[in-house]
A and B are shown apart, each in its own frame.
Chain A
């Protein structure tokens, strides 16, 4: 019986409930069934092939009014093990610079920490976002507005990277932070909170 108790103790060390895991329980949502898409008439141009690609921005500033986030955006690529790199501090966020630019067709991805050694970090409140909340990214005076339409918490091993970082025929923004319980054996949380937003056409 003592052995069993010891096993429970040791096993229990892998998963531990805390503030982050409680906040990110049952947070998945998708905006209500989408209304029929109103398709805009194309504007006539001399050579339509030259205007069909959308230009993006190299984002430097992130703002999420609903959760009072304001941050500089670093441009980072991959870690040595091929993961998306992240800032070494809890105050800044990073854009995955090998992927799509915000404003281009496809999913531009920005990641930030949920906590740091002192406590809550820049994306602590990300799980509080609701469908329709706005996310602003800017390069100088070029600002793009995105609207949240979906949130999910995905187990690390199930994350479909080719979709989360993938092509879309319209511009999207994806925000990622850590979620779920802390896994001591892996040294990271078991899930990732993924927020999807679509560009608001001006």
Chain B
């Protein structure tokens, strides 16, 4: 009887631990592509030889694509060009880590095209807003981004670079891009920065036509600790207790046989 119970316990443990493991989703990274080259045509992007993005125009971004962690061959072609390995206008081997997110910007003028890669933040302190800026205007000088008539939030941003993030209280800010001497380059009045949101703001185009593109890197929301219990029924409800009773009876029966054998010995 004791042995039987022990066996039963082992069977139960095996049954409960069946199917434990790690989900496949933890092996991918997120990558988005931004076209930030002012004089380059719309482009097609190939990842490991597969057409992944088509007809990406200047100032557009792809949104995040899930890619397996590891190193990928990323090639850029002018839209309409026939694909041939190694013949792209821009190529790089890009290594991405599982669980991380990246921005890959095609920057500079078409004759000096280059990738600018940055790791993106997928977290923000609750109730805060988070922002960074990128200087992707090939011929613009170093700039500051700050409050009109007030302090700089980002200082000395240079091409081609993406700053670290900074967290702020959410709210409306009268911002400007300006030269370090205070000369305004581009006003960004009434910029609304929302709570629980991570932004990237990139200055693009030539210096004489400077403009910004804005991207959301992440927006926070809660997730539960457990999946919902989405069945109110129990299969064969009348049957189940009967099975349990039968099982218990069988155990009693088995132990009786054992006892009987012992008495006979």
Contact in complex: A158, B23 (CB < 8 Å): yes
Interface-side segment among B85-93, B110-118, B160-168, B186-194: B186-194
Give the distance to chain B from A32, nearest Cβ to Cβ, in Å.
14
Query: Could you pull out 30 A-B pairs where Cβ atoms are within 8 angstroms?
Result: A6-B248, A7-B4, A11-B12, A18-B235, A39-B54, A39-B61, A39-B62, A41-B60, A42-B60, A42-B213, A52-B199, A84-B224, A84-B228, A99-B223, A100-B219, A113-B232, A114-B230, A116-B233, A117-B232, A156-B227, A157-B20, A158-B21, A161-B226, A168-B64, A177-B231, A178-B229, A178-B230, A178-B231, A185-B12, A188-B231
**A residues in contact with B98, CB < 8 Å:** none
A110 to B, closest residue via Cβ = B228
Q: Tell which of A52, A163, A178 touches B25, judged by Cβ atoms closer than 8 Å.
A: A163
Contact in complex: A9, B250 (CB < 8 Å): yes
Interface-side segment among A43-51, A61-69, A132-140, A141-149: A43-51
Contact in complex: B247, A9 (CB < 8 Å): yes
**B residues in contact with A158, CB < 8 Å:** 19-23
Contact in complex: B244, A111 (CB < 8 Å): no
- Complex: A40 Cα to B58 Cα, angstroms: 10
Describe B's contact surface by its main secondary structure: mixed
- Complex: A117 Cα to B228 Cα, angstroms: 17
Known A169-B216, A184-B234; further 6 A-B contacts with Cβ < 8 A: A6-B254, A39-B55, A39-B62, A40-B60, A121-B232, A164-B223
**B residues in contact with A165, CB < 8 Å:** 221-224
Q: Residues of B at under 8 Å CB distance from A?
A: 1, 3-4, 7-8, 11-12, 15-16, 19-23, 25-26, 30, 32, 35, 44, 51-57, 59-65, 122, 188-194, 197, 199, 201, 212-216, 218-236, 240, 243-244, 246-248, 250-251, 253-254, 257
Answer whether residue A131 sits at the interface, using C-beta atoms and an 8 A cutoff. no
Number of interface residues of A (CB under 8 A): 88
**B residues in contact with A162, CB < 8 Å:** 223
**B residues in contact with A114, CB < 8 Å:** 230-231, 233
Contact in complex: A49, B212 (CB < 8 Å): yes
Contact in complex: A49, B51 (CB < 8 Å): no
